[in-house]
Amino acid sequence: MTAVIEAEGLSKFYGRRRGLENLTLTVAAGEVFGYLGPNGAGKTTTIRLLLDVIRPTRGRIRILGKDPRDHRVRARIGYLPGELSLEGTERAREYLEFLAQVRGSGRSQIPVLAERLEADLSVSMGKLSKGNKQKVGLIQAFMHNPDLLVLDEPTSGLDPLVQQEFLAMVREARNAGRTVLMSSHVLAEVEHVSDRVGVVRGGRLVAVEGVAALREKAIRRVEFHFDAPVPPEAFEGLPGVRDLRVEGTAVRCTIDGRPDALIKAAARFTVVHMVSEEPDLEEIFLAYYSEEEDHAYAGA
Amino acid sequence: MPTLVRKTLRDYRRSLIGWTVGICAFLTLYLSIYPSIAANPDVYGDAALAKYPGALRDLMGGLDDIASGAGYLQTLVYQLFGPLLFIVCAVLLANRAIAVPEGKGTLELTLALPLSRSRIVLERWAAVAVGLLIVTVVSFALVTTMVALVDMNVEVDRVLAAHTGLYLLALLVGTLALAIGAITGRKAVALAASGGVAVASYAIESLAKNVDAISWLRWVSPFRYYADGNPLRLGWPVGDYLILAAAIAVLLFTAVRAFDRRDVGV
Q: Quick: pLDDT tens for B25-34.
A: 999 999 999 9
Overall domain count for chain B: 1
Mutate to test the interface with B, among A91, A99, A149, A151 (most CBs of B within 10 A): A99
Percent helix, percent strand, percent coil in chain B, to nearest 5: 80, 0, 20
Nearest to A55 among B14, B108, B263 (CB): B263
Chain segment B96-114, per-residue pLDDT in tens: 999 999 999 999 999 999 9
Q: B110 vs chain A: nearest CA distance in angstroms?
A: 9
For residue B45, being part of any structural domain is answered with no
Examine residue B133 and state whether it is found in any structural domain, yes or no. yes
Chain B environment of A53 (Cβ under 8 Å): 108, 111-112, 263-265
Count other Cβ atoms within 10 Å, centred on residue B46.
14
Q: What is the pLDDT of residues A217-239, one digit of tens each?
A: 777 889 999 999 999 999 988 88
> Does residue B167 lie within any of the structural domains?
yes
**CA-CA distance, A240 to B179, in Å (whole number)?**
61
Q: What is the pLDDT of residue B149?
A: 93
pLDDT digits (tens, 9 = 90+) for B178-224: 999 999 999 999 999 999 999 999 988 888 777 887 888 888 899 99
Report ipTM (2 d.p.): 0.88
Q: What pLDDT score does A104 carry?
A: 93
The residue-averaged pLDDT of A29-54 equals 94
Q: Which residues of B touch A (CB under 8 A)?
A: 3-4, 7, 10-11, 14, 104-106, 108-109, 111-117, 119, 261-266
- Is there a contact between B115 and A14 if contact means CB atoms under 8 Å apart? no
Contacts of B104 in chain A (CB under 8 A): 85, 87
Query: What's the gap in Å between the CA of B81 and the closest CA on chain A?
Result: 30
**Residue in B109, B113, B266 closest to A14 by CB:** B266
For position B59, what pLDDT does the model report? Answer: 61
| Cα first-last separation, chain A | 40
Give the mean pLDDT of B51-70: 70
Neighbours of B163 (CB within 10 A): 23
In a domain, B56, yes or no: no
pLDDT tens digits, A247-257: 999 999 988 87
| Greater pLDDT, A214 or A195 | A195
pLDDT confidence of residue B223: 93
- Nearest CB partner across the interface for B105, out of A14, A85, A99: A85
Give the per-residue pLDDT at A101. 96
Q: Do A98 and B7 touch (CB under 8 A)?
A: yes
Are residues A74 and B108, on separate chains, in Cβ contact within 8 Å?
no
Range of the domain at B159: 3-36+68-261
Indicate if the pLDDT at residue B120 is higher than 60: yes
Mean pLDDT confidence for A69-94: 95
Residue A146: pLDDT band (50, 70, 90) is: very high
pLDDT of residue A199: 87
Give the list of residues 6+ apart from residue B129 with CB closer than 8 angstroms, or none.
B171
Q: How much is the pLDDT for B67?
A: 77
Q: A292 pLDDT band (50/70/90 cuts)?
A: low
Tell me, what's the pLDDT at A61?
A: 97
Tell me the chain B residues in contact with residue A71 when contact means C-beta distances shorter than 8 Å: 114-117, 119
Run of H or E residues at B140: helix B117-149
The answer to whether residue B165 sits within a structural domain is yes
Which residues in chain A are contacts of B4 at CB distance < 8 A? Answer: 102
Is A186 a residue whose pLDDT tops 90?
Answer: no
Distance from CA of B114 to the nearest CA of A (A): 5
- Give the minimum alpha-carbon distance from B157 to chain A in angstroms, rounded to a whole number: 39
With contacts defined as CB-CB under 8 Å, which chain A residues touch B118? Answer: none
Candidate from B104, B119, B266 with C-beta closest to A54: B266
> Which of B10, B105, B108 is the closest to A90 by Cβ?
B10
Q: Evaluate whether residue B185 is within a structural domain.
A: yes
Amino acid at A216: E
Residue of higher predicted confidence among A123 and B54: A123
| % residues pLDDT > 70 (chain A) | 91
Per the model's pLDDT, the better-predicted residue between B231 and A257 turns out to be: B231
Residue B49 lies in a domain: no
Residue B59 falls inside a structural domain = no
Provide mean pLDDT across the span A198-208. 89
**Residue A300: its pLDDT value, please?**
37
